[in-house]
Amino acid sequence: MRRPFAGSHLVYGGAAGGTAYSFINGGYKYILYSISGTGVDRAGLLVQRVGSMRATTDMRCKQGQKEESSNHEITDAIIKWKPDADIELHGLPSKD
């Protein structure tokens, strides 16, 4: 079953934060995430079985390979996505 995309803001201590974009397909949630701030710069894809609190996969981008978009049409579309309730409540799932 396919669900709409969701977008969530991530807030961490130490002036770090980011974004997470998710969707569900075939019993799994796919989460694209980006976190940056003081002492952290990380991005990647998490895969999580629906109903689980843990990620089955964490594919991190290579350091320095993250690209930001300045396309305002994309930004305007993403702003309209509803937040992912699980991410808003629990944060990103951990593989460990």
pLDDT tens per residue, range 33-92:
998 888 788 899 999 999 999 999 999 988 777 777 788 888 888 888 999 999 999 999
Domain count, the chain: 1
Whether residue 96 is contained in a domain is answered as: no
The answer to whether 43 touches 66, Cβ cutoff 8 Å, is: yes
Q: What DSSP string describes 39-91? A: TEEEEEEEEEETT-SB-SEEEEPPTT-------HHHHHHHHTSPP-HHHHHH-
Record the pTM: 0.84
Between CA 6 and CA 20 the distance in angstroms is 8
Query: What is the domain range of residue 77?
Result: 6-90
Angstrom CA distances, 89 to 10, 35, 53, 84, 86, stand at 11, 17, 11, 9, 5
